[in-house]
Amino acid sequence: AIAAAAAAAPPPLVEHPRLVGGALAGATVVSAACGASHSLAVTADGRLFAFGDDRWLQLGLRDGGVPSIRRGPEMRAEPVEVSALGALRAAGHVSDAAREPERWRVACAAAGGAHSLLALR
């Protein structure tokens, strides 16, 4: 029971700035956006990385009801590349970005309390 509780515990709070590595190591971040409890980073080559709280699916890494979208934990302590542009849907229709993801790059990102917004180029 103790091991299960430790595995379910959220990552420790970071009280001081620290270098973010992992998937972002070596990448040139050109812009960042911070929501209430999640962050987004856009790289020079148009990739998007997300980390923090994904409880409301604002990281774009999980989808509450669509099995084709990859699922993961609600909290990401390290940045993860958001590669499933199929998570970007409007009114239940898959976007052009999902049909031809290699054509699109992230130009900029914005984040709010429980959402993320991307502009693609």
The label of the residue with tokens 């990281």 reads 59
Q: Considering Cα of 34, then 36, then 39, then 42, what sign does the dihedral take?
A: negative
**Distance between CA atoms of residues 43 and 28, nearest Å:** 5
pLDDT in tens, 35-50: 888 889 999 999 888 8
Tokens describing residue 11: 């990552």
Beta-bridged to residue 33, according to DSSP, are: 40
Query: Please, which pLDDT band fits residue 91 given cuts at 50, 70 and 90?
Result: very low
Beta-bridged to residue 94, according to DSSP, are: 89
Ordered by start, the domain boundaries in the chain are 20-120
pTM of the shown model: 0.66
pLDDT in tens, 36-85: 888 899 999 998 888 888 777 777 665 555 544 445 557 777 777 776 55
Cα–Cα nearest to 42, from 87, 108, 120: 108
Cβ-based neighbours of 28, under 8 Å, separated by 6 or more: 43, 44, 45
Alpha helix (H) residue ranges in the chain: 2-8, 96-99
Query: Please, which pLDDT band fits residue 8 given cuts at 50, 70 and 90?
Result: low
Average pLDDT taken over every residue of the chain: 72
